Structure 1
Amino acid sequence: MSAPATKTQTTSAPGPSPTVPYASDDPNVELWGLDSDITPEAIRGPFGANIIGPHNIPIALENPSLLAPPTTDHGNVPNAKWPFALSHNRLQTGGWARQQNGENLLLLIPAASGIAGVDMRLRAGAIRELHWHKTAEWAYVLKGTTQVTTVTDDGQNYVANVNAGDLWYFPAGQPHSLQATDDDPEGTEFLLVFDSGSFDEGSTFLLTDWMAHIPKETVAKNFHTSQSAFDHIPSEELYIFPSTPPPQDGALPSDPQGPPPNPFTYAFSQVNPTQLAGGTIKIADSRSFHVSKTIAVAEVTVEPGAMREIHWHPTADEWTYIIEGTARMTLFAAQSNARTFDYQAGDIAYIPSPYGHYIENTGNSTLRVLEILKTDVFQDVSLNQWLALTPAHLVKAHLDLSDDTITHLSKVKPIVTAPQS
């Protein structure tokens, strides 16, 4: 006799055992904000302890991710934050200038050798005197209108008024000047960026400084005129000095060489940004601003609750300036090294290539940033897009994501993600 039939039992195959423990679900949000009415402490969950020694509370309120960092931070990542408020300010009769360069940043960020910046303010009519640099100069006007002039090595002259949100660029060694118009009665303020981290605003080549250090008889011989014609040249540099506002027409001397082939300014403020789920982006690099061969920029806005997606820049360091709002970034430096920083308006973030990072809006208003790269073409790699365009079985093997999650990955860069509902 045959054995009696038995009911077939079906069981689901057990999932593979994880190679390492799963990542923790413990929350790692900021524990306080800039305006929190608390005494911040070095405590996160069961870790840390309160501060019983001296405590710089204003600094601690600005930097919750340093005092009570996320538990996902690990290892050693060099400092990536510099507030312009900590830079020495050079006060002149016509305005001021403060800089971020190797002197005040490389000690904190050893990798920050590619870019330096200057925040400069000119009263209406004031002039940043005729000068040139060893490096190229890129600029973004923060407020007011700046009139720029330049002459190329071929003798082509150029003048333009650059408004808030607009750009200029002068190649290395090309002489130029900057003057505040009176379109805004307060004058102008602008951000200067140089394609060398060792740049020093105090060591530029100034017209008055040079003329004061050439024998007058030699000057007269050069210009084929009398020595008395130069009786009133300054005995030392002027740097920033007051003057009358430039004429509205911006008239230039007639030029037998004609105009330069490409303008040295770019009306970036008039470029329509690309609308995204959680903000906007617009880019200016050598493809649109043709003379800008060494600096590219993305101006990004991020709405409350949204974030500039997780990404990296493959070949260029990122020098980021916070124009408005508050932000948080975690920098991933490989080999389990990660560190989180908080930023406010007027702060600089320096992200070495190709560190992975994001920019999260931690405030209640729009975050507005400039992502500035030392390159001719702006490039980034999106984590979301990378995973979406990688074979699904590989993504599953690495991250154990469900089919549904994988189908929701974006094959087009989100750039700025929507706020979570």
Structure 2
Amino acid sequence: MGRLLNSVLCALLLSSLSASAPTGSAAVTGTGVLSAAPEQETVAHASDDPNAIEWNVTTTTETDIDPQPIRGTLGAPIMAQQNIPIQLENPDLLAPPSTDAGDIPNLKWPFSMSTNRMQTGGWARQQNVNQMPIATAMAGVDMRLEAGAIRELHWHKTSEWAYVLSGYMQVTAVDTEGRNFLGTVGPGDLWYFPPGIPHSLQATNQTEDGAEFLLVFDSGDFSEDSTFLLTDWLAHTPKEALARNFGTSISAFDNIPAEQLYIFPSTPPDPSALVPEDPQGQVPNPYTYKLSEVTPTTLPGGSVRIADSSTFQISTTIAVADVTVEPGGMREMHWHPTQDEWTYYISGAARVTVFASSSTAHTYNYQGGDIGYVPASYGHYIENIGNDTLHFLEIFDTSTYQDISLNQWLALTPTSMVQAHLDLSEDALQHLNKVKQVVVAGPN
């Protein structure tokens, strides 16, 4: 009798526990397998809180808005000192969207805050790991040469990649086989020199003001002040050694500079000049590339030109995507599998959210002259928040340009798998695109 009573009580207790189990909890089935709860019963739905930019960085001035760290009910006005111009340019640092979380090393550096090295005939300012420690893969230099001015004959331990921002440049080089090269490039064009290849840069007078260009090097600790310069080497070599090397007299070197020239004025070169005759011939792959003459791929919200070793064959360590985004559009949500992205903003205003995994994301604002950096595999998008076309360069230390589109990934994944994760509507699922959009148009 006691054994029967115990059996009845156990059955009643199990029945009671089963009935009181909360909806959505894991339940034991007859097969011994746990059945998972639907996602919407596992975690709360994402918030619908508005997270638009708090003020327009392209139209505000110090007098027409009071930038404060306030978003909805969060934050409070600053009571102490403020740097209003910097706050106006960085609304998403001062009043970040509520979706931002965690901590990411600084991913923004404006060339305006770089120390400028001024010379007779031009100047140069740089960004490397001293300014942005996370940018270990690449460093950049913004250089200006007046018409005729020369960046003297030199070479580097790293590759040198360049994008002409304004004006025209004539470049020369000689490779390890003694083959030479001379080329002239203009706005939107490229040049590239592999490590150790000696070269020179000179602005032509095709425009009155000379030229300005962006240099990118495939090492974050590169310093423009530590290049191998012709005049620096000769100034630190005994003249008797120079005489023996060149088979002439010591007096032939009476007028060589006592220190490096770096940048110096000179007579503008002939834009149609020919390379000196060379018994070894000319380099098989040119060191310049007319990216400006490549027809861009037109996209719903902008355009893109890509140059990597498949088109600019000599450029084996640097690849670029030259991107435009129209107002309201965005460079779609994506990531680059293995290479860090060094971004240079030429014009316009951008808003970028970078996702670093582990519930960590930060939003940044960029304008023309700013440098951005996105480590490999960090998810991100680039939104045009201004009234003009946004123009920027995505630059990578690789031979081949690569990216992965979030939209395409989901479109090519079984629908049931996507639905299980995101609980999307049928209409939203229909909008997934099996072809990369690259740049998407705004809502209007």
**So what's the TM-score if we normalise by structure 1?**
0.95
Q: Are the equivalent residues in 1 in contact too, given 2:104–2:360 (CA < 8 A)? A: yes
Residue 48 (1) aligns with residue 71 (2): no
- Work out which of the residue numbers 195, 198, 205 in structure 2 matches 1:182: 205
- Work out which of the residue numbers 98, 113, 116 in structure 2 matches 1:89: 116
**Which runs of no fewer than 5 residues in structure 2 stay unpaired?**
1-23, 25-36
Aligned residues with identical type, % of pairs: 63
- Work out which of the residue numbers 80, 83, 88 in structure 1 matches 2:107: 80
- Work out which of the residue numbers 239, 249, 252 in structure 2 matches 1:216: 239
Residue 314 (1) aligns with residue 337 (2): yes
Cross-structure match for 2:188: 165
Residue 128 (1) aligns with residue 155 (2): no
> Could you say what secondary structure the match of 1:256 adopts?
coil
> Could you say what secondary structure the match of 2:172 adopts?
strand
1:281 Cα offset (Å): 0.6
Q: Which letter maps to 2:291? A: F
Q: Figure out how many residues of one structure are paired with residues of the other and give that number.
A: 404
1:158 Cα offset (Å): 0.2
- Work out which of the residue numbers 371, 374, 385 in structure 1 matches 2:394: 371
Cross-structure match for 1:69: 96
Q: Which letter maps to 1:78? A: P
Tell me how far apart the structure 2 counterparts of residues 90 and 248 of structure 1 sit (CA, whole Å).
27
> Could you say what secondary structure the match of 1:117 adopts?
strand
- Work out which of the residue numbers 292, 316, 326 in structure 2 matches 1:269: 292
In the TM superposition, what whole-angstrom CA distance separates every residue of 1:325-348 from its partner, at most 9, and x where no partner exists?
Answer: 000100100000000000010000
In the TM superposition, what whole-angstrom CA distance separates every residue of 1:50-99 from its partner, at most 9, and x where no partner exists?
Answer: 00100111000000000000000001111100000000000000100000
Tell me how far apart the structure 1 counterparts of residues 293 and 388 of structure 2 sit (CA, whole Å).
23
Q: Which letter maps to 1:69? A: P
Q: Which letter maps to 2:260? A: E
Cross-structure match for 1:4: none
1:248 Cα offset (Å): 3.2
Q: Which letter maps to 2:48? A: D
> Could you say what secondary structure the match of 1:129 adopts?
strand
CA RMSD of aligned residues (A): 1.1
Residue 229 (1) aligns with residue 256 (2): no
> Could you say what secondary structure the match of 2:81 adopts?
coil
Q: Which letter maps to 2:118? A: L
1:249 Cα offset (Å): 2.9
In the TM superposition, what whole-angstrom CA distance separates every residue of 1:139-176 from its partner, at most 9, and x where no partner exists?
Answer: 00000000000000100000000111000000000000
**Which runs of no fewer than 5 residues in structure 1 stay unpaired?**
1-13
Q: Are the equivalent residues in 1 in contact too, given 2:306–2:322 (CA < 8 A)? A: yes
> Could you say what secondary structure the match of 1:102 adopts?
coil
Tell me how far apart the structure 2 counterparts of residues 248 and 413 of structure 1 sit (CA, whole Å).
40
**So what's the TM-score if we normalise by structure 2?**
0.90
Q: Which letter maps to 2:301? A: G
1:403 Cα offset (Å): 2.3
In the TM superposition, what whole-angstrom CA distance separates every residue of 1:13-72 from its partner, at most 9, and x where no partner exists?
Answer: x99442100001111011012232211011001110000100111000000000000000
